[in-house]
């Protein structure tokens, strides 16, 4: 006699291959359109499902978890970051939380380098000129940017993605520096030829490019605040592909507009889709719509990890990517 299949609710549209496999394995309810669930839809989902598969666009807070039904036992997040999920409240309610770490490392690191190149070599300005039909030919002083080789790259957060960026930057001939909660092992530092800075302030003041790769936690909120941003050299560039809340966006905007910071490349924003409109006006700022992980391969691998976490849970074992509060 076959056992009853787990009831799984997916909050957003996922790649077709992932949705097909979920449907084969579980009693799954998929999203018809690619819009976030409303609060009432999320409440209904957690009341009826055994497993919820949310994304970064869903707020799974204490209030929502408090309305969950007795059936809900796993929140299998489609994504690595879990700052939108109250993991501690879930734990107290007996609900496990899993995520999808590692699969987006290379994709996000690639996008980081793309942003660094875009800002330093003024690629959007060149593209805009061509698209408008305003190009009148090559000139010795037109669109002068900066060479990456020899520049100091400061990496804030030296986890998987930070280290992947460091390796790519080294291939461009950049000098790699970093600040992290914990210093890397000596052999890892030697491999990447990376210099550790215990003082974030001292590192920020000496870098040509600062790349942000730390999670959103209470301790990292506005880690790059107005005071620390003032330490950046006037020729410095800031790139962020992690979480928008790490940077005081209004302060960054003011300093770029005033010429105190040379430019920025941003894929994430402090207030989600509500981007400071003054940022959009600046030619030395490259803005992307949170697409650092947007590769077909990466998104399918994310889905595969979600499926493995759910299937392992269904088989009575701890999900391989279970998140516990101590990890945050």
- The residue whose two tokens read 């030395």 is 284
Can you list the domains of the chain with their CATH numbers? 7-103+295-327 (3.40.50.720), 105-287 (3.40.50.720)
145: nearest Cα among 222, 235, 275, 32: 235
CA–CA dist 44, 49 (Å, integer): 9
260: which 2 tokens? 């105190």
C-alpha to C-alpha distance for 269 and 292, rounded to whole angstroms: 13
- Is residue 328 pLDDT above 90, yes or no? no
Other beta carbons within 10 Å of 11: 22
pLDDT of residue 216: 85
Q: Is the dihedral of CA 25, 29, 35, 37 positive or negative?
A: negative
Around 23, how many Cα atoms within 13 Å sit in the side-chain half-sphere?
Answer: 10
pLDDT band, very low/low/confident/very high, at 282 (cuts 50, 70, 90): very high
Q: Which residues contact 294 (CB under 8 A, 6 or more apart)?
A: 107
- In sequence order, what DSSP letters do the residues of 250-304 get, joined into one string? HHHHHHHHTTSS-EEEES--TTTT---HHHHT-TTEEE--S-TT--HHHHHHHHH
What is the spatial distance between Cα 215 and Cα 81, in angstroms, rounded to a whole number? Answer: 7
Q: What is the mean pLDDT of the chain?
A: 95
Instruction: Give the pLDDT of residue 262.
Output: 97
Answer yes or no: are the C-beta atoms of 241 and 212 closer than 8 Å: yes
The pLDDT-based confidence of 81 (bands split at 50, 70, 90) is: confident
Query: Which residue carries 């869903």 as its tokens?
Result: 58
Confidence band for 326, pLDDT divided at 50, 70 and 90: low
pLDDT in tens, 129-182: 999 999 999 999 999 999 999 999 999 999 999 999 999 999 999 999 999 999
Looking at the predicted structure, is the pLDDT value of residue 2 above 90? no
**What share of the chain has pLDDT > 90, as a percent?**
94
Query: Residue holding tokens 């005081």?
Result: 248
Structure confidence at residue 3 as a pLDDT band (50, 70, 90): low
Radius of gyration of the chain (CA): 22
| pLDDT-derived band at 1, boundaries 50, 70, 90 | very low
What 8-state DSSP symbol labels residue 181?
A: S
Helix, strand, coil percent values for the chain (each to nearest 5): 40, 15, 45
- H helix or E strand, kind and range, residue 212: strand 209-212
């Amino acid at each position: 006699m076959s056992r009853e299949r787990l009831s799984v609710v997916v909050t957003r549209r996922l790649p077709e291959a992932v949705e097909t496999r979920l449907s084969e394995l579980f009693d799954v309810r998929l999203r018809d359109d690619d819009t976030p669930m409303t609060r009432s839809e999320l409440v209904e989902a957690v009341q009826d499902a055994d497993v919820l598969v949310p994304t970064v666009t869903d707020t799974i807070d204490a209030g929502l978890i408090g309305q969950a039904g007795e059936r809900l036992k796993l929140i299998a997040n489609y994504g690595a970051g879990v700052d939108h999920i109250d993991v501690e409240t879930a734990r107290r309610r007996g609900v496990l939380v899993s995520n999808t770490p590692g699969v987006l490392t290379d994709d996000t690191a690639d996008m980081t380098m793309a942003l660094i190149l875009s800002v330093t070599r003024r690629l959007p300005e060149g593209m805009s000129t061509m698209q408008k039909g305003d190009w009148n030919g090559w000139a010795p002083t037109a669109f002068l940017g900066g060479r990456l080789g020899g520049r100091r790259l400061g990496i804030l957060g030296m986890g998987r993605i930070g280290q992947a960026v460091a390796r790519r930057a080294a291939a461009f001939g950049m000098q790699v520096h970093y600040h992290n909660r914990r210093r890397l092992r000596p052999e890892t530092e030697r491999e990447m030829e990376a210099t550790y800075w215990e003082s974030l302030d001292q590192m920020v003041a000496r870098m040509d490019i600062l790349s942000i790769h730390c999670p959103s936690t209470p301790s990292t909120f506005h880690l790059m605040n107005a005071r620390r941003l003032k330490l950046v050299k006037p020729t410095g560039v800031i790139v962020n592909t992690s979480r928008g809340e790490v940077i005081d966006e209004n302060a960054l905007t003011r300093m770029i507009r005033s010429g105190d910071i040379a430019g920025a490349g941003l894929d994430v924003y402090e207030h989600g889709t509500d981007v400071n409109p003054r940022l959009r006006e600046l030619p030395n700022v490259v803005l992307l719509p949170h697409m650092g992980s947007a590769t077909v391969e990466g998104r399918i691998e994310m889905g595969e990890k979600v499926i493995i976490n759910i299937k392992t849970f269904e088989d009575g074992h701890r999900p391989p990517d279970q998140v516990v509060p101590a990890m945050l």
